A and B are shown apart, each in its own frame.
Chain A
């Protein structure tokens, strides 16, 4: 009997390679390739008056220098606006190399291709650019004031104004017994995967083929962009995703200028070319996220039930809008969380600033949304003097109310915002038990008696995961009995080779060890979307399950003929098809693969068994009508809409009475991602998400000065957490509410760990200090300043707000 594989914490098959230094990341490929370095703008806003390349042209080891003037055809056009939207009335994208004007420090102006990166950087340093300075617009205040414009033809610096809602929010708030107004903000952070961006390309003149390896989250998207920009047929471009050293969203944007310029140069020079981004480049030329100002007006009753919300926010999207409005749309819709809000109005403006572009970073607008909603609910609890968890429970959507539609709202995929399943009251009960909510006041009293300040915080989220349009799966059984699986989306550490193999092992009845999975290779899977929005397990997991079922159907058909029994009498275990109750009557999958492919030529022992003189019914064609040669299954999964995961984080902090340092005493996560394929991998995703959340709540911020210089563009100054900043233990409890929308009941889990973290910390710090927290992240110095301010204003509530 085959052991069930889904749900088991199986150790990853990827790791043997990765712990021995045998991984293949972008910079490990193509030894001897020429290397590209980029001249990036040192100014946030300037006109390019002249570029003098004289000092570079004769440098030994330099093969080419390109500026905008060297680009022709589609390469000379602006980069694509990947996700247009009717409300994005003033979308702008940059050129692969700046044309006339630069709009952020780090924008690419010229590239040098040389024997190695050292020479290429030497050459970049010798390019002379004269600039005419323009006034920079940095920060949301400056963008809103619009005293200066980022783009001359974008009035008010507003790319988009989007308004949605249902019911009558203004009316409900006006009539409500209680009202509150909150003005809060979240600062910029960034994904900062340990490996930056990287692209390698080789042009094969003989075959007319472009082979590209890119550290990307979307193989097919980069491929299509390269084909389109370089004037190649899609079929001439192969995009292979090598091992990717983390993505967290930043590698979904495409094409990056370098992803086009590398193949462009490879074709022009007839030599392989690579670009490997360094860390400073990553800070100033890859995307950031999170920065928003939020204004909330809410009306509610005596019990804390929300009657109406008006949510306005201003979203800083940086200098260009290649990824459209996805981040603010998600904020505006996922704000609703697990709550029944009867009347809702949301409006946002997406604003230009002379800073690095803003595109999805793990959570993608949800951390900001959850922060806004949960700050609001904490404020309601404080206003009414009732327990924060009670306010949440009173507003929860109930388990019998699914599917639950939020009025006429539409989600980031343009589909109605309808939750498929969940059980939020049970989640809350689990969260309170896990963190010890009811016992906390006793702990607070004990701590206070010792002169210590502690606080507890809680935050809930709902996350739309598994967004469409589709993914595919292809399962091939080889004559050896090995099962080869391909799906087009990419892998950046999620363990897809393991999790998808578990699905195939179960669905097909193969041995887990016999299943080998390839992701992100357009030669194997040319139709795909990408890995983002916690969609890989839902989308490709489902597609692969469906493909495996098709392969199984065919295997059973062939086996029924071979064994002369009825299909319904057969079962597959450990790669062997046998008659139920008569395991002696059997045939293995490898042999069925042989039989599935009638051959003219016997090129090895296995194929001898399948030549046309041996197999098949002589009364029928060798390949029967309706069949294809080979033992394969292929299918696509395309859901009507997203599936909604949910969870609650709770944290206990201690704040130092003197230094205002914030120590994490306990961190508890309860989450529901439907069916767990591999609990070990899911927990790893949660650990990593929480760590990024801790960084985003307490340490990480992009420090731009008023001239648009990023002052902390290094790991020395941008503080991503070491082990010393992360709680020693992250308590996790799972709840499983399967999704009815896909064959395995899966919901996404990749982003969840980071989503409610800043909200939970704001709640806990506020509870510890009795000072209202309105801006995250928060550093000890900022908390110290808040204490001084509160003392001066006499607004400290020493009793806490629990």
Chain B
């Protein structure tokens, strides 16, 4: 078997540039987790259904298990680690999940957090139905989603509060 072909890739993750050398087949999820050590992004199914690996690619929720690392190099990627503020404080969506018991085992949580972070950017004042739509592509086996929906609404509230303060 021939040695695998390797490619140099520059990934911009959470505002930091990383140079890695990987096989073209390396998934973005594996590159983030195992090449960059950003293990907050979790892999739940590797076929794009569960949403645990969701990261933001130029701000848009994207399954990191369905994207090759080599295909990600022209984009700005945000992982759950990048949601935390530079001073270590929690972003509205992180705070909301904590406040509302929006997680139990925590494995699916990073995918929900990135999805909702983008969701409330796009729709800062979601109704309950819109909150449900926002998370309708992510699986959680622990919470029954009740407190995740509450977390989305709370995140929007917290974000609105911050916008007012900074206005």
Query: With A15-B103, A22-B40 as given contacts, are A194 and B1 in contact (CB-CB < 8 Å)?
Result: no
Within 8 A of A (CB), among B36-53: 37-47, 49-50, 52
Smallest CB separation, A205 vs chain B (Å): 25
Query: With A278-B46, A687-B144 as given contacts, are A12 and B105 in contact (CB-CB < 8 Å)?
Result: no
User: B26, B137, B143: which contacts A688 (Cβ < 8 A)?
Assistant: B143
User: B81, B113, B137, B145: which contacts A726 (Cβ < 8 A)?
Assistant: B145
User: A243, A688, A729, A730: which contacts B141 (Cβ < 8 A)?
Assistant: A688
Smallest CB separation, A244 vs chain B (Å): 7
Q: Are B105 and A492 in contact (CB under 8 A)?
A: yes
Give CA–CA (A59, B3) in the complex, Å.
9
User: A59, A244, A684: which contacts B147 (Cβ < 8 A)?
Assistant: A684
Secondary structure type dominating chain A contacts: loop
Smallest CB separation, B74 vs chain A (Å): 24
Q: Are A25 and B107 in contact (CB under 8 A)?
A: yes
Within 8 A of A (CB), among B124-167: 128, 132, 135-149
Q: Are B34 and A716 in contact (CB under 8 A)?
A: no
CB contacts (< 8 Å) of A16 on chain B: these are 90, 98
User: A20, A24, A195: which contacts B80 (Cβ < 8 A)?
Assistant: A20
Give CA–CA (A504, B13) in the complex, Å.
42
Query: With A11-B99, A15-B98, A724-B136 as given contacts, are A493 and B106 in contact (CB-CB < 8 Å)?
Result: yes
Encode contact with A along B104-127: 1 for CB under 8 Å, 0 otherwise.
111111100100000000000000
Smallest CB separation, B153 vs chain A (Å): 13
Encode contact with B along A17-33: 1 for CB under 8 Å, 0 otherwise.
01111111101100100
Within 8 A of A (CB), among B66-98: 79-81, 83-84, 90, 94-95, 97-98
Instruction: Answer yes or no: A622 CB below 8 A from chain B CBs.
Output: no
Q: Are B26 and A687 in contact (CB under 8 A)?
A: no
Instruction: Answer yes or no: A279 CB below 8 A from chain B CBs.
Output: yes
Q: Are B142 and A246 in contact (CB under 8 A)?
A: yes
User: B43, B95, B105: which contacts A27 (Cβ < 8 A)?
Assistant: B43
Q: Are A194 and B50 in contact (CB under 8 A)?
A: yes
Q: Are A246 and B107 in contact (CB under 8 A)?
A: yes
Q: Interface residue count for A (Cβ, 8 Å)?
A: 59
Give CA–CA (A118, B1) in the complex, Å.
14
Instruction: Answer yes or no: A295 CB below 8 A from chain B CBs.
Output: no
Instruction: Answer yes or no: B18 CB below 8 A from chain A CBs.
Output: no
Smallest CB separation, B103 vs chain A (Å): 6
Give CA–CA (A18, B148) in the complex, Å.
14
Q: Are B94 and A20 in contact (CB under 8 A)?
A: yes
User: B80, B101, B128, B137: which contacts A680 (Cβ < 8 A)?
Assistant: B101
CB contacts (< 8 Å) of A248 on chain B: these are 141
Encode contact with B along A700-736: 1 for CB under 8 Å, 0 otherwise.
0000000000000011100010111010111000000
Most chain B beta carbons < 10 A, residue from A11, A117, A687: A687
Q: Are B147 and A245 in contact (CB under 8 A)?
A: no
Most chain A beta carbons < 10 A, residue from B99, B141, B147: B141
Give CA–CA (A248, B113) in the complex, Å.
23
Smallest CB separation, A34 vs chain B (Å): 13
Most chain B beta carbons < 10 A, residue from A118, A689, A730: A118
CB contacts (< 8 Å) of B103 on chain A: these are 15, 18-19, 493
Q: Are B109 and A60 in contact (CB under 8 A)?
A: no
CB contacts (< 8 Å) of B80 on chain A: these are 19-21
For the A-B complex, the count of residue pairs with Cβ-Cβ distances under 8 Å equals: 177
Q: Are A723 and B148 in contact (CB under 8 A)?
A: yes
CB contacts (< 8 Å) of A25 on chain B: these are 39, 42, 107
Q: Are A194 and B40 in contact (CB under 8 A)?
A: no
Encode contact with A along B21-40: 1 for CB under 8 Å, 0 otherwise.
00101100010011001111
Query: With A21-B81, A684-B104 as given contacts, are A279 and B44 in contact (CB-CB < 8 Å)?
Result: yes
CB contacts (< 8 Å) of A720 on chain B: these are 139, 141
Smallest CB separation, B102 vs chain A (Å): 8
Q: Are A60 and B144 in contact (CB under 8 A)?
A: no
Q: Are B146 and A730 in contact (CB under 8 A)?
A: yes
B51 to A, closest residue via Cβ = A722
B151 to A, closest residue via Cβ = A19
Q: Are B90 and A195 in contact (CB under 8 A)?
A: no
Give CA–CA (A494, B95) in the complex, Å.
19
Q: Are B141 and A19 in contact (CB under 8 A)?
A: no
Q: Are A690 and B101 in contact (CB under 8 A)?
A: no
Q: Are B39 and A28 in contact (CB under 8 A)?
A: yes
Give CA–CA (A116, B23) in the complex, Å.
12
Q: Are B47 and A193 in contact (CB under 8 A)?
A: no
Q: Are A279 and B144 in contact (CB under 8 A)?
A: no
Give CA–CA (A471, B79) in the complex, Å.
39
Give CA–CA (A20, B83) in the complex, Å.
7
Give CA–CA (A689, B106) in the complex, Å.
16
CB contacts (< 8 Å) of B37 on chain A: these are 31
Give CA–CA (A29, B149) in the complex, Å.
31
Give CA–CA (A453, B109) in the complex, Å.
37
CB contacts (< 8 Å) of A11 on chain B: these are 98-99, 101
Q: Which 10 A-B pairs have the closest CB atoms?
A: A21-B40, A245-B107, A493-B105, A687-B144, A18-B106, A691-B144, A493-B104, A28-B39, A715-B49, A21-B80
Q: What are 28 A-B interface contacts by the 8 Å CB criterion?
A: A11-B101, A15-B106, A16-B98, A18-B109, A19-B80, A21-B80, A25-B107, A27-B43, A28-B33, A59-B1, A192-B141, A194-B44, A194-B50, A194-B140, A195-B42, A279-B45, A492-B105, A684-B104, A684-B142, A684-B143, A684-B147, A687-B143, A691-B141, A715-B47, A722-B137, A723-B145, A730-B146, A753-B144
Known contacts A246-B142, A279-B47, A689-B144; 13 further A-B pairs (Cβ under 8 A): A18-B103, A20-B90, A21-B39, A60-B3, A117-B30, A195-B107, A245-B42, A245-B106, A691-B145, A714-B49, A720-B139, A720-B141, A726-B144
A-binding residues in B (CB < 8 A): 1, 3, 23, 25-26, 30, 33-34, 37-47, 49-50, 52, 79-81, 83-84, 90, 94-95, 97-99, 101, 103-110, 113, 128, 132, 135-149
